[in-house]
Amino acid sequence: MPLIPGEALPYFENMIYLPMIISILERDREVIETSSFKLKGPYTYIVESALKTVRAELAETNNYARRKNMKLIKRGKDGTFTEYAFIHGGYEDKRRYLNIRLRNRTEELIGIYFAMVENQGIRGVATT
C-alpha cells in the first residue's frame, strides 16, 4: 500500500504548479500593462480571467490539503531537478521533478487555462 494515497497526488501537484502559474501570469500582466500594445484590454482580460480561475483552484486545493493534513515542502533545486516532500497522514514521500518537466507542464497548464477563457468567450466579442 502506498504511503501517499493516489487521490492526494493531484492536490500535491496543484500545490506545485498553481503557485507557479499565478506568479508567471502576474508577471505577464505587468508586462502587458507596461508594454506598447495599442489595445491592452483583450490581453489583460485573458490573463486576469485565467488568474481568477487558477486562484480559485488553488484555494480549493489549499482547503483540501488543510482538511487532509497535507503539506508540501520544497526541499531543494539544482540545475536539473527540484525535490519536494509530500507529507500526508504522518508519512513523507520525497519526489524529484525534472525542471524542464516543471516548465513544460506549467506552460501546458497555462494553455489549458487560456483555452478555458476562450471557451467562455471574450467580453465584447461576438461568439457566434
Cα separation, 117 vs 122, in Å, equals 7
- Identify the pLDDT of residue 122: 55
Q: Please tell me the total number of residues recorded for the chain in this structure.
A: 128
- The b-or-e profile of 38-62 (16+ CB within 10 A means b, else e) is eeeeebeebbebbbebbeeebeebe
Average pLDDT, the chain: 92
Matching residue, cell 513523507: 92
125 pLDDT higher than 80: no
Q: What is the pLDDT of residue 124?
A: 46
pLDDT of residue 56: 97
Average pLDDT over residues 35-62: 95
Q: pLDDT class for 67, splitting at 50, 70, 90?
A: very high
Q: Parse the chain into domains and list their residue ranges.
A: 6-120
Q: Look at the block and give the residue holding cell 496543484.
A: 14
